Structure 1
Amino acid sequence: MFLVNLIISFVVVATLGGLYVVVKRYLEWYDDRFLDVKIGGWVSKQDNVVVQIIPPSNNERSMAEMENFFINLAAIYSKKSKKDQYTEGKWYEAFTFEVHSRGGQINFYGHFNRNHLPLFRGSLAAHYPTASVIESSDPFEGWPTEWKGQVGPYTDLWGTDINYGKDDDLHPLKSWTEFQRDDNTPITDPFSTLLTGLENIQPEDYIVLQFVLRPRSDSDVQKKWKKNSKTFVKNSKKMPTLILMKKAEYNYGLKTNKTFSILLKSK
């Protein structure tokens, strides 16, 4: 009798536990869906601007200038409470930068809230005085939101969406300090290699590389970064062949949230 009661109890617990997991996952899914709709509605109401960025023809400044430029952009951060998110859909704003290569002709664009245009212009002028910022129409204006086999002359589409791993934000990328000498002269410019590749595509190709930079300074995010950094360093000590990062560069909270690229090819 005891064994029967034990089996029945086990079945009941297992059933209730399974039901709890199902309900919990459904509520999480509904919560994410609800938030997506709310945030999407709020984002669609923002007054965004597209600018074309014309870089200086001769840039001999230290890469530290660009780091300071990004630190300035992090000023757009504004904490969003759960109430703000669920009632109004407010979300963390971002600067989006794009490199467009149409048959090898390269253009640089920025996309962000118009309220941040003075900050962007001022930050860029402070560190790169000869760079120009011109308001522009969206290069994708008039393009359909769904791919149906062809857009204008383009008949093929490839895309990739690169983000951080599911569990942490740490990755063994080099920092700018490893690309220049102590006298600020560059050892190599990794971006020039990328541009060379974009300049040498076929005339019928169109490539877009997009970077979304979203400042995050939430205490929860900072705690997660700090915890994962400690775990990373601790585990790395057991792996002599692994090159450790010199420092965790999260002091100002600006990180590359996402990289997105597409390649369009015509006949």
Structure 2
Amino acid sequence: MTKTFDPAELAESYAGKSPQDILKLAFEHFDNLWLSFSGADDIVVLDMAWKINPAIKVFTLDTGRLHPETYQFLEKVREHYGIALEVLSPEHQALEAYVKEKGLFDFYKSGHGECCGIRKIAPLRRKLATVDAWITGQRRDQSPGTRSHVPVIEQDEAFGSEAHPLIKFNPLANYSSEDVWNYIRMLEIPYNPLHERGFVSIGCEPCTRAVLPNQHEREGRWWWEEATQKECGLHAGNLIAKS
């Protein structure tokens, strides 16, 4: 961090600004700044950030259970933008122990929390412990139950600490799904081909399915669980009650 940074104050003053303005603010204040890219419609925030700073540092989580189309898309993105995409993997001993004890599909019976904890949260926590700020593609309309209060800038209380403060930027917080797809079509940027088959919110293959017309996009994720549980923990702060 290069200058004094008050996330609450800036979240209020930047609440109505464009994603590009929020990204410019992020680049202005932070050198150790990373963008989290999932291989879904957050391609839009990656495209915006890259056009501001082609040297943007990007990481993605490889859970080992992604769709083949997502792996292919990640490689396409790497080549299209000429970026060194850092791929984070689960700690193999923890994953092997979990699979040995619970099998490959325990989440259908016990919920997705433990599996996501090993495959997503632990690698993410390991990465975020080394950065000062990160950028996500979160939008409020992605999940009215858990993301409706997402600010454009926030102090990350889930992965940061008093000893290691962490700032989180959500430049697309005010964007709708329509805004995202207007951007993709207008600028003809690459996108995951699964979107053409009815997949809107894309995660791991066993836990993601296409949605029907007029279904909300998060209904295609962990469909066997309650709507309030449709978060893997990457954005655990979303579940904190807002006054």
Structure label with greater radius of gyration: 1
* Between structures 1 and 2, the one with greater strand share: 1
* TM-score > 0.5, shorter chain as reference: no
- Please report the TM-score for the alignment, with normalisation by the length of structure 1: 0.23
- Please report the TM-score for the alignment, with normalisation by the length of structure 2: 0.24
RCO greater where, 1 or 2, for CA within 8 Å and sep 6 or more? 1
